[in-house]
Amino acid sequence: MSETHTEVAPREGTPPRVRSFTVPAVDVYEDDSEIILVADLPGVPADGLTVETRDRQIVVEGRRPEVEGRLLWGAPSCAYRRIFAVPEVVDVANVSAEIKDGVLKVHLPKLPVVQPRRIPVRRE
């Protein structure tokens, strides 16, 4: 279920303003190599979507465009926004995203695990 929120001054350095947005439903999956965020963003085209990394966060923002003509069924234009904390195990430099049929997938690859190893000590 989506929620609607309102915020003031959404980004540091921008003038104060009031903006309403919908928090999209998201599923989070994890396996040994990555974490995947799957968000429902119906009607949002790829060019109306941004996925950014900011200070160990993933910020997803999108806008469903206005529909021409009279809307008989469905939701009007709306803005989506959701912020996720990124765990330290994620390789932020290699995050990728794709959208298909209104479903956004954000792939957060995990950093390679450093295995402990024994270091031989030489005698001099």
Helix (H, G, I), strand (E, B), or coil: what is residue 67?
coil
Conformational region of residue 15, where left means phi above 0, alpha means psi within -120 to 50, and beta covers everything else = beta
Question: Taking the domains of the chain in order of start, what are their residue ranges?
Answer: 3-12+25-68+75-109
Q: What is the pLDDT of residue 6?
A: 44
- In this predicted structure, the answer to whether residue 97 has a pLDDT above a threshold of 60 is yes
What dotted CATH number matches 3-12+25-68+75-109?
Answer: 2.60.40.790
Distance between CA atoms of 55 and 74, rounded to whole angstroms? 36
C-alpha to C-alpha distance for 53 and 17, rounded to whole angstroms: 23
Reported pTM: 0.72
**pLDDT, tens only, 46-76:** 998 999 998 889 999 998 877 666 655 555 6
pLDDT score at 23: 85
User: What pLDDT score was predicted for residue 21?
Assistant: 75
pLDDT tens digit sequence for 11-22: 566 665 555 778
Q: What is the pLDDT of residue 115?
A: 54
Bridge partners, 57 (sequence order): 85
Decide which of 93 and 15 is more confident.
Answer: 93
Residue 116 reports pLDDT greater than 70: no
Beta strands 96-100; 78-85: pairing state: unpaired
Looking at the predicted structure, is the pLDDT value of residue 7 above 50? no
Spatial distance between the Cα atoms of 122 and 99, rounded to a whole number of angstroms = 55
Strand partners for 35:
30, 108
Q: In one letter, which amino acid is 47?
A: D
**If pLDDT is split at 50, 70 and 90, which confidence band does 4 have?**
very low
What is the average pLDDT score of the chain? 80
